[in-house]
Amino acid sequence: MKRKLRDLPPALLMLVPSLGLLTVWVIYPLIKAIDYGHKKCDISSRNCRDVGWDRYFSVFQSTQFQDSLIVSLKFTLMTVPIGLVLGIGLAVLADKHLKGIGIFRTIFSSTVATSVAVASLVWFVLLQPSRGILADMLSDWFPVLKNPGLLNDSGTALPAVALSSIWASLGFTFIIIMAGLQSVPRDLYESAFVDGAGSFRRFTNVTLPMLTPSILFVSVVLTTRALQSYGEIDLLTQGGPQATKATTNIPYLIYGNNSVIHNDIGTKSAAAVLLFLLCLAFAALQFRGFGKRVHYGN
Amino acid sequence: MAYGAHVARVRLEHVSKQFGEGDEQVTAVDDISLDIEDHEFMILLGPSGCGKSTLLRMVAGLEDPTAGDVFIGDHRVNDQLPKLRDIAMVFQSYALYPHKTVRANIEFPLKVRGVPKAQRAAEALHAADVLGLTDYMKRKPGQLSGGQRQRVALARAIVRKPAVFLMDEPLSNLDAKLRGDTRTELVDLHRRLDSTFIYVTHDQVEAMTMGSRVAVMNAGRIEQVGTPQEVYDRPASAFVAQFIGTPPMNLLPVGVLGTDDVQVGIRPEHLVLSTGGPLSGTVSMVEHLGHEVLLHAESGAGRLVARVDPASVIPAVGQAVQFDAAPQHLHRFDATSGVRVS
């Protein structure tokens, strides 16, 4: 105990840089947001008065929040599983000793260096109803591409944004899973092969279990990213089509220019805190859900 | 439940394996023919990179021979998948599935073959019993010691009752004490299973103590095949003479105790202190090992090592000594090819 106390000052000293950054960028804003969450302020965010902690319940129960919560959940359900499956699939395909495989690995991982803005612009151009290449090529089979356009139709706007998001995240998933695959000992595959396991069984009995740490990591990051998606929605649909608000997720409800709570810092802060709790709950669920299935080697 | 119901002979005929292409081509195995009998415990012994593991992997079906044929029983198996070859392999790293329990690891080869659950459990239990693992069935490999993991790998190999066991340096990750114990157990296991074992090692002690026969390999070729005693007593080449035996055989420079085209070798135990003997030198080091003393001497014929009885008078460091050896203990090798001449 004495020794622990003696070690405390140097330990704290060494923690100062990271604690400092964490305080400035995370802890202070979080406390501030929690504080704003139970206040009503004027448009300049000054002259606030306390409206009580019930505000969190009323925000949670409001139609706008509930609607955007559903959009956020739908968006997460669309992007995370598909992104994971595609990322694992591509990584398994690229984990071969073939000539020229490096070119494919570079292509598959390239989106990691693509910003949300660029990715959204690419998809905005591709999905343009009048000049977009997808509309030109496929509108005979999918008329919605031309009229009114995927991003303008209430039914297809969210999947279209999800498509852009999946594509943009694919490079990240690919790189992490690829790194995970390369750390799987070759002996395990060879042993399973000698024992008579075919490629599917080797995948389910060796590859997938050995990838669980990478899959858990990617799935937590992708879920948090999906719940916090703002850039692609702002750039592609501005939370619209406006009549249905089909793509107004929680972040867009908080930050978006078209949002009904745009000028209300108190409500926005309460929604932001609820979003934080949602991310936390999802991460905790994933850690618990994967739990014993995650194997960190021997 | 008896193991080894179907034993098999393994034949390699003019087998070669090359890796890479063009200028980067490397020959790992160079035209090897070897006949391994039913029930035999055959050791492939050689230094790192001599091609012994590649040879084993070709028998397993993990590598395709560039040339030559591999037979298991009467069947040419070059084009057969490993699962059809009736073999089981134990890897140096054990290759246990870290996410599966000991039971699931042992059952895996049976599960893959669609053996019913109850039968699987019974056979896994029997295999675990043979290797003393029944208390650890619910543990994961990460909760076991190196020796226990090694046994799980063995249990997983024997559970399928294969005709041939292939082992790639299975003891090299164990500490010296455990390695000694496991050697004895493997010999016992071979006797009980009564199957063909092909065992790769670079450790000559393993080769000498376990093998029915030893194939000594060097640079992709087999230098000699014989019982451990034959290989020790009549090494077929200067390489084998130096590789087998601790300390290795003294190889004298060409011309010393022989003619101009012959190199003479003498085992340390056959080099005796003898006043007026033909090999003279000065003692440079004395190693007391308890049951024996190793005497190192610098001579005109290079460094000589002699194994001396600790009860005899041991010369001190710096003392001038002479050695002699009985004619029947002189090994003669061709000076250019290294092949034994008598």
Chain B CB contacts of A201 below 8 Å: 112
Instruction: Evaluate if residue B3 carries a pLDDT over 50.
Output: no
pLDDT tens sequence across A218-229: 999 999 999 999
User: Do residues A151 and A127 touch, judged by C-beta distance below 8 A?
Assistant: yes
Judged by CB atoms closer than 8 Å, whether chains meet at B97 and A185 is answered as no
H helices within chain A, ranges in order?
Answer: 2-22, 28-36, 54-61, 63-94, 101-109, 116-127, 133-138, 157-182, 186-194, 199-202, 208-227, 231-236, 250-255, 265-290
pLDDT tens sequence across A117-170: 888 888 888 877 777 777 777 767 776 666 777 777 777 888 989 998 999 899
Sort A218 into a burial class: Cβ within 10 Å, 0-12 / 13-18 / 19+: buried
* Residue from A183, A194, A212 to probe the interface with B (highest B Cβ count within 10 Å): A194
pLDDT tens sequence across B292-317: 999 999 988 889 999 998 888 889 99
Least confident stretch, A1-5, B100-104, B274-278: A1-5
User: Do residues A160 and A144 touch, judged by C-beta distance below 8 A?
Assistant: no
* Residue from A191, A203, A214 to probe the interface with B (highest B Cβ count within 10 Å): A191
> Nearest chain A Cα to B58, which residue?
A194
Q: Is the dihedral of CA A223, A226, A227, A229 positive or negative?
A: positive
B168 compared with A116, residue with greater pLDDT:
B168
pLDDT tens sequence across A191-203: 999 998 888 999 9
Judged by CB atoms closer than 8 Å, whether chains meet at B91 and A206 is answered as no
A213 touches chain B (CB under 8 A): no
Chain B CB contacts of A190 below 8 Å: 62, 89, 91, 95
Instruction: Evaluate if residue B7 carries a pLDDT over 90.
Output: no
Query: pLDDT band at residue A236, thresholds of 50, 70 and 90?
Result: confident
Cα–Cα distance for residue pair B179/A248, rounded to 1 Å: 66
Judged by CB atoms closer than 8 Å, whether chains meet at A185 and B141 is answered as no
pLDDT at res. A172: 92
- Average the pLDDT over B68-85 and give the result: 90
Query: pLDDT band at residue B174, thresholds of 50, 70 and 90?
Result: confident
Nearest beta carbon to residue B89 from set A191, A209, A210: A191
Query: pLDDT band at residue B2, thresholds of 50, 70 and 90?
Result: very low
Domains in chain A, start-ordered, CATH in brackets? Answer: 67-293 (1.10.3720.10)
Tokens at B271, concatenated: 């080099």
pLDDT tens sequence across A59-95: 888 888 898 999 999 999 999 999 999 999 989 888 8
Instruction: Evaluate if residue A275 carries a pLDDT over 70.
Output: yes
pLDDT tens sequence across B107-134: 999 999 889 999 999 999 988 888 888 8
A69 touches chain B (CB under 8 A): no
Instruction: Evaluate if residue B226 carries a pLDDT over 70.
Output: yes
pLDDT at res. A1: 61
The percent of residues in chain A predicted with pLDDT above 70, rounded, is: 95
A208 touches chain B (CB under 8 A): no
B334 compared with B260, residue with greater pLDDT:
B334
Backbone angles phi, psi at A246, to 5 degrees: -65, -20
Nearest beta carbon to residue A196 from set B60, B91, B109: B109
Instruction: Evaluate if residue B15 carries a pLDDT over 70.
Output: yes
pLDDT at res. B20: 86
A152 compared with B64, residue with greater pLDDT:
B64
Chain B CB contacts of A293 below 8 Å: 99
Tokens at A280, concatenated: 């936390």
Instruction: Evaluate if residue A291 carries a pLDDT over 80.
Output: no
Question: Distances in Å between the alpha carbon of A161 and those of A172, A278, A279, B68, B73?
Answer: 18, 21, 20, 59, 62
Judged by CB atoms closer than 8 Å, whether chains meet at B108 and A210 is answered as no
Pairing mode of beta strands A49-50, B75-76:
unpaired
Instruction: Evaluate if residue B98 carries a pLDDT over 70.
Output: yes
Cα–Cα distance for residue pair B139/B142, rounded to 1 Å: 8
Chain A CB contacts of B61 below 8 Å: 194
Chain mean pLDDT for chain B: 89
Query: pLDDT band at residue B4, thresholds of 50, 70 and 90?
Result: very low
Domains in chain B, start-ordered, CATH in brackets? Answer: 10-239 (3.40.50.300), 251-334 (2.40.50.140)
How many beta-carbon pairs below 8 A join chains A and B? Answer: 62
pLDDT at res. A297: 60
Instruction: Evaluate if residue A171 carries a pLDDT over 80.
Output: yes
A98 Cα to chain B: minimum distance (Å): 13
The percent of residues in chain B predicted with pLDDT above 70, rounded, is: 98
Cα–Cα distance for residue pair A151/A276, rounded to 1 Å: 28
Cα–Cα distance for residue pair B267/B277, rounded to 1 Å: 16
pLDDT at res. B191: 87
- Average the pLDDT over B179-197 and give the result: 87
